[in-house]
Amino acid sequence: MPLTARGEAIFERLPNAAPRTSTGSIGCQIVRHEELCIGCGRCASACPTGATSKGDMFDPMQLYSAPPESRRGALGAALRTIARHQPSGSIAVPDRVAAFRTIVFDAARCIGCGACARACPTGAAEALPVPAAEIASAGMNG
């Protein structure tokens, strides 16, 4: 499995680091950056517990914040040109529209495996290591 951007950064700092892939670690903290999301849904497909899923709603503000070279960004630029006011909240998405859905993340079901972060092509899902203090309090450092 390829490493996340964060994993790559850690390996850059390690001398004699041999492995360039990981088998994934349990207990990462998942941070989502919605402005980078292109709605491909790979995180939802990769998620083993269903904590990340494709929603039924879409927030048009995501079009405005998307990178301009992305498809969402292009649609956002077109929408901004003709808009009379700011988008008035989320809209329902018809069944056959796949790419324009806001990803729903349910933290209660997340086991922190980081599969979504490895599947994400844009870095919108990021897996951060668990803070050392939390590991100590859970008694996992023995």
- Least CB distance from residue 5 to another protein, whole Å? 28
Could you tell me the smallest distance in angstroms from the CB atom of residue 69 to another protein? 13
Smallest separation, CB 125 to another protein (Å)? 24
**DSSP summary character for residue 107:** G
**Site residues for another protein per CB under 8 A:** 58, 60, 71, 74-75, 77-89, 91-97, 100
- Residue 112 φ/ψ, nearest 5 degrees: 70, 35
What is the closest distance, in whole angstroms, from the C-beta atom of residue 101 to another protein in the complex?
Answer: 10
For residue 37, the minimal CB distance to another protein (Å) is 17
Nearest CB to another protein, comparing residues 93 and 119? 93
Residues in Cβ contact with 55 at an 8 Å cutoff, skipping those fewer than 6 apart? 93, 101, 102, 103, 104
Count CB neighbours of 19 within 10 A. Answer: 9
- The Cα–Cα gap between 77 and 41 comes to 22
Judged by beta carbon, residue 93 or residue 115, the one nearer another protein is 93
For residue 101 the two structure tokens come to: 């859905």
Query: Which residue, 39 or 112, is less far from another protein as judged by CB?
Result: 39
3-class DSSP assignment, residue 31: strand
Nearer to another protein by Cβ, of 76 and 112: the residue is: 76
Q: For residues 80 and 109, which CB has a smaller minimum distance to another protein in the complex? A: 80
102: closest CA among 36, 47, 34, 12? 34
